[in-house]
Amino acid sequence: MPLFRRGGGDDRERNEAAAAEQAASLEALERGGLPLRAQQRLADVAAGDLFTSDLSVNEFALAHSIGLRPLAQVMGSSIYHVGWQGRPGAWGITQELSVLSDAWNTARERAFGRLEQEAKLLGAHAVVGVRLTKGAHDWAAGSIEYIAVGTAVRIEGAEPAERPVLTDLSGQDYWKLAQAGYRPLGVVGASSVYYIVSSWQQQQAMGGMFTSWANQELRDFTQGVYDAREVTLGRVSAEARRHGASGVVGVSFEHSVQEREVDAGGMHRTDLIVTMHVLGTTIAERADTGGDLTPALTIDLSAGIQPAHVLGGRA
């Protein structure tokens, strides 16, 4: 009796269908789109009555109070291979590693683009509570990963949106923003990777026989971190202006530092590679507020004369 047997006609048809689906999904990903199975699942969710979300009970109650109906959790992901990046040698200068910066920015744009596509397939007006995961993996050497997850919501009674608004605001913050008379426009973000060269004078300050005894600032490192921050914030500000925003709220700022040991003509030095990520939500004033943004102090009379909380809404 043979150990293996050839598959029947049904098996071949299933394998051919699976191969065709995989090829179509890979083609969609190449265009920045979604795999076929993700599209089908979202279509099934949109046609049903059950919703899923990562909203807390308080967030759900507040969202409901301003007419937001959760639809489903949505995700955007991109695992991106980083190309070759030259680095300053023995006599290099502090500079941005543009290949690494571009990889982070492209991965973020693709992840958010897919997040928006999932929300659009659900007929959502916005995505709230977007959480981010960034990093690298041993099983994909030379690659980075960017994942964005949030809850797609629909505004009750509103006309369908051409493009869902993505925000990193929580349900509570979204509610407070509405109370303050503002509306979110979208998520803005930027990343930059900087190589910071340590000069001979700084190396002496760090390890010289006499100079290392004194307290002193490592100015090359300080200046390099400032350069990386200014470039990253400048990109975020430029994107916010393109949104027509009056400001950016909920800004998160992350940075990591790696050491790089360099042999500079027989002399040893320690350089730094600084990676910075900035993300926030652009906002603009709603046309129906009349410009009255007076904060309101509310008192919970049922619990005695005690301040309850301050809201950013109108009195």
Distance from C-alpha of 211 to C-alpha of 201, rounded to nearest angstrom: 10
In a domain, 63, yes or no: yes
Distance from C-alpha of 114 to C-alpha of 37, rounded to nearest angstrom: 14
Give the pLDDT mean for 39-48: 73
pLDDT band at 25 (very low <50, low <70, confident <90, very high): confident
pLDDT in tens, 73-82: 999 999 898 8
Give the pLDDT mean for 97-119: 93
Give the pLDDT mean for 236-240: 94
Q: Evaluate whether 7 touches 15 at the Cβ level (below 8 Å).
A: yes
What average pLDDT does the chain have? 79
In a domain, 216, yes or no: yes
pLDDT band at 41 (very low <50, low <70, confident <90, very high): confident
What beta strand segments (E) does 161-246 contain? 165-166, 182-196
Closest CA to 200 of 192, 189, 190, 211: 211
- Is it the case that residue 224 has pLDDT exceeding 70? yes
Angle subtended at Cα 150 by Cα 149 and Cα 155, rounded to the nearest 5 degrees: 155
In a domain, 28, yes or no: no
Give the pLDDT mean for 86-108: 87
b/e burial code for range 173-209 (CB count within 10 A of at least 16 → b): bbbbbbbbbbbbbbbbbbbbbbbbbbeeebbebeeee
The H or E element containing residue 95 is: strand 95-96
Give the pLDDT mean for 22-44: 76
pLDDT value of residue 9: 63
Catalogue the long-range contacts made by 205-212 (C-beta closer than 8 Å, 24 or more residues apart): 206/270
pLDDT value of residue 309: 37
pLDDT value of residue 211: 56
pLDDT value of residue 302: 41
pLDDT band at 288 (very low <50, low <70, confident <90, very high): low
pLDDT value of residue 29: 77
Q: List Cβ neighbours of 277 (8 Å cut-off, separation of 6 or more).
A: 104, 134, 189, 190, 191, 232, 252, 253, 254, 255
User: CATH no. for residue 224?
Assistant: 3.30.110.70
Residue found under tokens 């921050």: 229
Task: Report the phi/psi class of residue 307: left, alpha or beta, with left for phi > 0 and alpha for psi in -120 to 50.
Answer: beta
In a domain, 5, yes or no: no
pLDDT value of residue 24: 76
Total tally of structural domains belonging to the chain: 1
DSSP reduced 3-state for 93: coil
In a domain, 91, yes or no: yes
pLDDT band at 3 (very low <50, low <70, confident <90, very high): low
- Is it the case that residue 37 has pLDDT exceeding 50? yes
211: containing domain = 51-311
pLDDT in tens, 170-206: 877 888 888 889 999 999 999 999 999 888 777 777 7
- Is it the case that residue 54 has pLDDT exceeding 60? yes
Give the pLDDT mean for 61-88: 85
pLDDT value of residue 191: 95
In a domain, 20, yes or no: no
In a domain, 4, yes or no: no
The residue ranking higher by pLDDT, 244 or 132, is: 244
Q: Evaluate whether 243 touches 280 at the Cβ level (below 8 Å).
A: no
The pTM of the full predicted model, rounded to 2 decimals, is 0.75
Give the pLDDT mean for 211-221: 76
In a domain, 8, yes or no: no
pLDDT value of residue 293: 40
